[in-house]
Chains A and B, each alone.
Chain A
Amino acid sequence: MSPVREPAAHEESLFRRHRRQHVVHLPDSDDVIDRMPTDLRLEVARTWTRRAHEELRVAWDFSLLCRELLELGSDPDVLAVVARGVHDEVRHAEVCRSLAERYAGGPVPWPTEVPPDTRPRSSDPRLRTSFHLVTMCCVTESIASAFLDASLKDASSPSARVAVGELLADEVVHARVGWTFLARQPRPMLDAIEANLRALVEPVVRGWWQQGRVTLPEGAPEHGIPSMRRTQEATLGAMREIVLPGFTEVGLDASDVRAWLDRWETTWGQG
């Protein structure tokens, strides 16, 4: 008889624990939505429909990162969470689509395909993978967690709260695995990350500043959609209170990024 063994660290992420009928169970009734003006209701529906597609784009990014980790022989617990991230983000698309239906009052189709990123990549795969993981998990998902935390704090619609809560719980885990990965990197890799830290961080922060296709710049906070201003505040807060202190914790000198962020905040995105 085989001895009973303790589960390995990565096994928890590989469990299939639930067989649910729906990806997300939204409340049967929602007075906050029922009281909305029709035009705002449709705009919020459009916003959550766009968000569904954006979740698929993030699934694409996680699938690329997953492939990179597979090709390099990643630690299983990091690989398990990143692989789960692909599934999570597809599930998030369904959460957003379901919520969009609630606002639209009718069917919302599954989002269209994600345009491929065909840029050639010729750089060292170990470096690229490490940098990708830092950018994707340590920075982007940490900011996304702060953004969703702010979204949840302001939301009063029970449907929006359930949906945003579902997204936030996963984003925290996605962000966390970046720091798990960083904690295990040898000094030469940390030095390479440190030397390129601003190049890795700055495009992400700038991205959260862009108005892009935002059609509700003032947001619809009660429906889980923060204003652009609140989004920018959450971004800065995440950088100052999560990402930069995290880099310091692992021994990275983030002073260059901090100085850039100070200038960026002073000009409030005009730089």
Chain B
Amino acid sequence: MRPDRGGKLFHAIVGLGLAAGCGGDVTTASGDGGLGHKAADASDSSVPHATPDSGARDAAQERTSAADVGTLPGLDAPGPVDAPGRVDATAMTVDAGMARDAASDVTIPPPPEIK
């Protein structure tokens, strides 16, 4: 099975995420990348159309209208923001033992259905 047909998920997650990391915007450039609320698309006849005052439709419109994957910020966009309070880690050193300890300390959320 190819859950990511055409690489849409890769693009929406990794492509846009890395673009944002290089100076783009983590949410505004693409919304959810056209995913998620596609269930409420008018072209999907299996889904009843939301009523005019429906918040679900509002959310769907908001997300899908912002979800133009073709308007990606370029990967060569300006560098990361210099935010107040940001830790300068460019000169950091990492001890391998400390890193192993940290890896074993990481909390992992359970997947659906599994607890």
Whether the Cβ atoms of A145 and B48 lie closer than 8 Å is no
Closest-CB distance, B84 to chain A (whole angstroms): 8
Interface-located stretch among A37-45, A99-107, A184-192, A263-271? A184-192
Closest-CB distance, B113 to chain A (whole angstroms): 5
Residue in B20, B22, B51 with the greatest tally of chain A CB atoms within 10 Å: B20
Q: Given the complex, which residues of B lie within 8 Å of A144, measured CB to CB?
A: 111-112
Q: What mask results when residues 1 to 21 of chain B are scored 1 for a CB within 8 Å of chain A, else 0?
A: 111100101101110111011
Closest-CB distance, A187 to chain B (whole angstroms): 9
Q: Which secondary structure dominates where chain B touches chain A?
A: loop
User: Which chain B residue lies CB-closest to A51?
Assistant: B112
Within 8 A of B (CB), among A99-124: 117, 119, 121-124
User: Which chain A residue lies CB-closest to B16?
Assistant: A176
User: CA of A217 to CA of B37 in the docked complex: distance in angstroms?
Assistant: 27
B43 contacts the other chain (CB 8 A): no
Within 8 A of A (CB), among B99-115: 99-115
Residue in B3, B36, B57, B62 with the greatest tally of chain A CB atoms within 10 Å: B3
Whether the Cβ atoms of A207 and B27 lie closer than 8 Å is no
Whether the Cβ atoms of A242 and B14 lie closer than 8 Å is yes
Whether the Cβ atoms of A9 and B109 lie closer than 8 Å is no
User: Which chain A residue lies CB-closest to B67?
Assistant: A169
User: CA of A142 to CA of B59 in the docked complex: distance in angstroms?
Assistant: 22
Q: Given the complex, which residues of A lie within 8 Å of B90, measured CB to CB?
A: 186
User: Knowing A124-B98, A180-B20 touch, does A238 contact B9 (C-beta < 8 A)?
Assistant: yes
Closest-CB distance, A10 to chain B (whole angstroms): 8
User: Knowing A176-B16, A185-B89 touch, does A128 contact B105 (C-beta < 8 A)?
Assistant: yes
User: Knowing A150-B3, A241-B3 touch, does A173 contact B87 (C-beta < 8 A)?
Assistant: no
Closest-CB distance, B109 to chain A (whole angstroms): 4
Q: Given the complex, which residues of A lie within 8 Å of B39, measured CB to CB?
A: 152, 155, 161-162, 164-165
User: Which chain B residue lies CB-closest to A212?
Assistant: B114
3 tightest CB-CB pairs across the interface, nearest first? A183-B21, A169-B36, A179-B17
Chain B interface (Cβ < 8 Å from any Cβ of A): 1-4, 7, 9-10, 12-14, 16-18, 20-22, 24-28, 31-33, 35-40, 44, 46-48, 50-51, 54-60, 62-63, 80-81, 83, 85-87, 89-96, 98-115
Can you pick out 19 interface pairs between chain A and chain B where the beta carbons lie within 8 Å of each other? A9-B25, A53-B115, A61-B108, A122-B105, A127-B103, A128-B102, A128-B106, A145-B13, A161-B47, A165-B40, A170-B36, A172-B12, A179-B17, A183-B18, A207-B111, A208-B111, A230-B1, A237-B2, A237-B4
Chain A interface (Cβ < 8 Å from any Cβ of B): 8-10, 12-13, 17-18, 20-22, 24-25, 27-29, 47, 50-51, 53-54, 57-58, 60-61, 64, 72-78, 81, 117, 119, 121-124, 126-128, 131-132, 135-136, 140, 142-150, 152, 155-156, 158, 161-162, 164-173, 175-186, 188-189, 191-192, 195-196, 199-200, 203-204, 207-208, 210-214, 230-231, 233-234, 237-238, 241-242, 245-246, 249-250
